[in-house]
Amino acid sequence: MRPWQTLALRLAREPAVLVRVDELRGSGPREVGAWMAVTASDVVGTIGGGQLEFDAIAKARAALAAGRVVDARQRFALGPSLGQCCGGVVWLSFDLLDAQRIAGLADLLGVQDDWRRIALFGGGHVGRAIVDLLARLPARVHWIDSREGMFPEPLPDNVRAEQSEPVQGAVPTLAPGSHVLIMSFSHAEDLDILAACLKRQREARDLPYIGLIGSKSKWATFQHRLEARGFSAPELAHVTCPIGIPGISGKQPELVALAVVAQVMQDCIHSAP
């Protein structure tokens, strides 16, 4: 369950104060837009921890006790007075929430602004491990497999599943800017998906990352087959294979997923406009 969904459930039972990072100058523990919701007994989310968060929680609970927010925007210098050496200045906004604010809560929090778009082909063990990780990250996942019954229920809130036959038929429907991960149950499917992605990239140039799971020898074989289909060396250079950041060894699905998700999130940041 996403943090904002947890908050929505809490608001049905008790009010909260939403604390958001409204502005940041210099270094700070969290980015603009980061948030936490403070109830009388609990906290959902985080603005970075430390004394800043401790003081913000105290101010939020004082507002809850008073039934109103007195100062909706407050400045915090991250220096000796807070015991934090970030050196920046943070402005936090405080907003009183109750059950009537549940509708449109996702828009209020901006939970899908600038989320990474991930297209994942393959519902096997590694694909599921990747989805488990992405469910906790700011990503919109389009999960595709040619087989029926491959997707667990319920799906995470940020995941949309599609059964597509042929599987490469889903490539034209991917959102522009999608980072593509290819790991179907079949090398033949992988090749067809990859060819469709390269064709789209040739025409639209809107798939910043195309990653193929597999070994160097698999990629060497695929290169020859894709060259036979008319793809050039510069086009093939756009493919990442093997995938995953170096240094994370092991073939357990969870370890592979960790390496792959880290690489994709890193590439999302580098390719952001």
Residue 138, pLDDT score: 81
Please give the average per-residue pLDDT across 55-68, as a whole number.
93
Residue 29: CB partners within 8 Å, gap ≥ 6?
A: 47, 48, 49, 50, 52, 53, 78, 84, 86
- Tokens matching residue 181: 């991960």
- Radius of gyration, alpha carbons of the chain: 22
Question: How does residue 85 score in pLDDT terms, banded at 50, 70 and 90?
Answer: low
Please give the average per-residue pLDDT across 142-162, as a whole number.
93
Residue 7, pLDDT score: 66
Q: How many angstroms separate the CA atoms of 252 and 31, rounded?
A: 33
Residue 41, pLDDT score: 87
Residue 114, pLDDT score: 63
Mean pLDDT of the chain: 88
DSSP 97-122: E-GGG-TTHHHHHTTTTTPEEEEEE-
Residue 12, pLDDT score: 65
Predicted TM-score (pTM) of this structure: 0.71
**Beta 89-97 vs 16-25: how paired, if at all?**
antiparallel
Q: How many angstroms separate the CA atoms of 119 and 177, rounded?
A: 10
- Model confidence at 88: pLDDT above 90: no
Tens of pLDDT, residues 181-222: 999 999 999 999 999 999 999 999 999 999 999 999 999 999
Q: How many angstroms separate the CA atoms of 183 and 122, rounded?
A: 5
